[in-house]
Chain A
Amino acid sequence: MDRIGVFVCHCGVNIAATVDVDEVVDFAGKLDGVVVSKSYKYMCSDNGANLIKESIKKFKLDGVVVASCSPQMHEHTFRRVVEEAGLNPFVLEIANIREQCSWVHPDRKEATEKAKLLVKGAVAKVRLLEPLVREKVKVTPKALVVGGGIAGIQASLDLSEKGFHVYLVEKEPSIGGRMAQLDKTFPTLDCASCILTPKMMDVKNHPNIELFAYSEVVSVDGSIGNYRVKVVRKPRYVDFDKCTGCGDCVNVCRMKGKVPDEFNMNLGKRGAVYIPFPQAIPLKATIDPEQCLFLRYGKCGRSPACQDVCEAEAIDFTQREELVEFEVGVIVVATGYDLLDPSALYEYGYSRYKDVITTLELERLISSSGPTGGEIVCPSDQRKPGSVTFVLCVGSRDETVCTWCCRVGCMTALKQAYLLREHLGDDVEINICYTDIRSFGKRYEEFYRRIRGVKTNFFRGRPSEVKEKKDGLTIDVFDTMTNKLFEIKTDLVVLVPAVVPRNDSSDLGKILHVSRGADGFFLEAHPKLKPMDTFTDGIFIAGCCQGPKDIQDSVAQASGAASRAANILSKEELEAEPLIAFVDEDFCSGCATCVSVCSFNAIELMKKEDNKYVARVVEALCKGCGSCVAACPSGAMQQKGFKDDQILAVVDVLGGEA
């Protein structure tokens, strides 16, 4: 490039007050290869942009330096300006004379000298720049949604409504997730099933949604626009097409009533063949291979009872795992959460005392489809509790367990207090031991007030211990409102455990190329401005896998993630970022140092004809971070727009060598 234009911005007084702009313009005009040098008050304004465009045409420029703010701010603006004037957008260089000069130096003379050097360096680099081309990538207009809870369901419905094919993968036999386990939802007290099951039916009936229930994603490779996905469909030992979901097999199973029922938080028992709940989607029986007598011992009575009773002849003990492969353009991860096992806090007696339960267990006790048919009873002796005490923040806001707030615990306890009052009448004593009541959502505070008005005893303090005595459970709690230590004798203790990442989220994160935060939840690309994006382009997160959330926030985030995903799917082609790494194969020894430093799995080792290995950059995955370039011992790895000679030219200028 030898017809370079330099455009210096005053940025109002931001630059001009400290840097003598006219002096910089004069200095730049005399540099090698510079044919025009101008200044303007706000170069990023329309007038500034026109000044650059007109100069490019008038002086037939082939390279441009803009001396202004950080490239973080306006590099893309000026690239567009240069492109609109008919030049390649990558023959532009920004000299940052604001953040790196005028804002940080008080002395006008020195700052002006530094600005001159920065401009000179930029000009030296532009002389060596090469035009770059943005590669096009075709987009597969399909989506993978991982997790069939309320967030996954919402994302699938939104994407399918937009006309894209959706593969929805759920590891359990039915979709529905945690919400299906709830009785009512706060603060409206809507019946959870009543508002969830219509959406589950929509998933089943939507022509664009392909549901893989009882399946798991085992591998994902490729990049934005084209991910190759492998899914394992676990054997149900029931023919999916033949099974009508009548439940005859469930009733005759020889293991019936012997297997802890995970859907009911192990409070009830199921058989080896089971349908998790009446509204399950898909409504198909599943045989638990670890419990089925026939699958374990090869023998179940004279012949398996389920097989005898099934009129549709759907029972099939020969089923095997099935591997399914497909391609998608985007992925939405919505794998949900686990509750902390409260045994982590030994002092609260969970798993030692039968009448110490969790909120999710109480939810199943309240639910009319639960193990007791909606009778709220103490698990130890099946009698109605006369007093129920909630302990909030079990493991939450605790530097030794989970530092974060679970965001749903307070409202869950308040909702359950209401339901207990409704089911058990006026006489039951309800105590809530809390640290703060966080009723932050829309209409939550009003709900909290309502619960205060139904004879609920609030103790502002965290109990230290749950003790079992002859006549029941005892909790000592210091109430900071009255400054007194109280002893609460109670029949049922309900712990509100912390919300934690799914126990398999570490493995899943690796499979899906999604990074996790220190708390173990999947990490968003920006906590405020990119809350649904991940650091891997084309992969989005929604719901509690990103962090604790209530239903309304999960649904909102899922719709948001679906919308972000649709931005990609609605394009036929994507433009790839050209400022990425490339390999000079003549210098590459195949040492794979670059492979180990790449955070984006963007480098592969490739075998050449002479059996030597060389590194290859997967252009669609490379983010242009430069780690591999810095790590490469031979200099074979280079970055477009930041080649060694281009950077060294700047370094020479700044170091006074040129």
Chain B
Amino acid sequence: MSIKDLTSMAEAQVELREEINNRLLRLQNELSDYCFQCAKCTSGCEAHKLLELEPHKIMALLKRGLIDEMVNSDVIWTCMSCFKCRERCPQKVSPVDVLFALKNLAVMGGKQIPGNYTSMLQSILSMGLIQDVQEVQTRDMKTRRREDLGLPRVSKPKDASKFQMVLTKLAVEKV
């Protein structure tokens, strides 16, 4: 009595699957077992259109217990956390929460986080923002600074080192 993926010779990681399912339950979602692969999540997935994330495939692999395969894949980092999949799932399952869990597992396992993610993280640590946006271009190609529009300057952490400390502490908690 066993189920084996004949390509990778991987077997179900039962405990990890249990852990992720428990996380779904804690967040008031349904068990991944209820997913019946309608793929409504992927049909609406913003990350799929650009970056080939397939949330329904994530659910299928989770049901099969093939967690490592997903943790080792860069594609889990493409999720934009728009939560559409969770809002629209007819079975009340939440792929986005599964993706958070997988990303946590990756970080805990010491996996290298993909490059652009690291630079975003650096940017947040140093100035509290992903990007320091001071000016924008309008549709008719005119540049507008925040001051021009009467907006205040974007606030940044007053004490960068304290801010970094808080963030690092938070990062130990799960996303």
Contacts and interface: CB of A to CB of B under 8 A. Distances in A.
Nearest to A475: B3
B1 A486 contact: no
A481 B37 contact: yes
29 contacts: A449-B91, A457-B3, A457-B64, A458-B63, A460-B37, A476-B6, A479-B64, A481-B57, A482-B57, A482-B60, A482-B61, A482-B66, A484-B6, A484-B7, A484-B66, A486-B4, A486-B5, A486-B6, A486-B64, A487-B3, A487-B6, A488-B2, A488-B3, A489-B1, A489-B2, A489-B3, A489-B4, A490-B1, A491-B1
A452 B6 contact: no
B34 interface: yes
B3 A482 contact: no
A63 to B, nearest CB: 65
Interface string A454-493: 0111101000000000001000100101111111111100
Interface in A137-174: none
Contacts of B66: 482, 484
Interface residues on A, range: 20 to 34
Contacts of A483: 57
The 3 closest A-B pairs by CB, nearest first: A387-B1, A481-B60, A386-B1
Interface of A: 386-387, 429, 431, 437, 449, 452-453, 455-458, 460, 472, 476, 479, 481-491
Contacts of B91: 449
B33 interface: yes
B20 to A, nearest CB: 15
A438 B37 CA distance: 14
Q: Which of A387, A476, A482, A487 has the most CB of B within 10 A?
A: A482
Interface in B80-131: 91
Nearest to A484: B5
A452 B60 CA distance: 13
Interface string B13-39: 000000000000000000101101100
Nearest to A387: B1
Nearest to B91: A449
B5 A485 contact: yes
A457 B3 CA distance: 10
A485 B5 CA distance: 6
B121 to A, nearest CB: 31
Nearest to A481: B60
A453 B31 contact: yes
Nearest to B64: A482
B7 A485 contact: yes
A431 B1 CA distance: 10
Given A482-B64, A485-B5, A455 B33 contact: yes
Contacts of A488: 2-3
A449 B34 CA distance: 6
Interface residues of B, number: 19
Contacts of B61: 482
Q: Which of B6, B31, B66, B91 has the most CB of A within 10 A?
A: B6
Nearest to A454: B33
Given A457-B3, A486-B4, 11 more contacts: A449-B34, A452-B33, A453-B33, A456-B33, A457-B63, A482-B64, A483-B57, A485-B6, A486-B5, A487-B6, A491-B1
B34 A453 contact: yes
Contact of B3 (A452, A453, A455, A486): A486
Interface of B: 1-7, 31, 33-34, 36-37, 57, 60-61, 63-64, 66, 91
A397 to B, nearest CB: 19
A54 B3 CA distance: 83
A127 to B, nearest CB: 68
Given A476-B6, A482-B66, A452 B37 contact: no
A458 B34 CA distance: 11
Contacts of A476: 6
A457 B4 CA distance: 13
Nearest to A485: B6
Contacts of A490: 1
A457 B14 CA distance: 12
A489 B1 CA distance: 5
A484 B31 CA distance: 22
Contacts of A456: 33
A407 to B, nearest CB: 20
A429 to B, nearest CB: 5
Contacts of B5: 484-486
A479 B7 CA distance: 12
A383 to B, nearest CB: 12
A349 B147 CA distance: 79
Contacts of A452: 33-34, 36
B34 A431 contact: no
B149 to A, nearest CB: 50
Nearest to B31: A453
Q: Which of B2, B37, B64 has the most CB of A within 10 A?
A: B2
A432 to B, nearest CB: 12
Q: Which of B1, B34, B66, B91 has the most CB of A within 10 A?
A: B1
Nearest to A491: B1
A387 B12 CA distance: 15
A481 B7 CA distance: 15
Nearest to A476: B6
Nearest to B1: A387
Nearest to B66: A482
A456 B36 CA distance: 12
B73 to A, nearest CB: 13
Nearest to B9: A487
A146 B33 CA distance: 45
Contacts of B60: 479, 481-482
A487 B4 contact: yes
B89 to A, nearest CB: 13
Q: Which of B7, B37, B60 has the most CB of A within 10 A?
A: B60
A437 B3 CA distance: 21
B37 A429 contact: no
Nearest to A490: B1
Nearest to A457: B3
Nearest to B57: A482
B41 to A, nearest CB: 13
Contacts of A472: 1
Nearest to B62: A482
Q: Which of B3, B5, B66 has the most CB of A within 10 A?
A: B3
Contacts of B3: 429, 431, 457, 486-489
Nearest to B35: A452
A485 B4 CA distance: 8
Contacts of B34: 449, 452-453
Nearest to B56: A481
A76 B107 CA distance: 81
Q: Which of A386, A458, A460, A483 has the most CB of B within 10 A?
A: A458
A133 to B, nearest CB: 64
A354 to B, nearest CB: 17
Contacts of A429: 1, 3
A479 B1 CA distance: 18
B37 to A, nearest CB: 5
A290 B60 CA distance: 55
A431 B2 CA distance: 10
A449 B60 CA distance: 16
A489 B33 CA distance: 21
Nearest to B6: A485
Nearest to A388: B1
Nearest to A449: B34
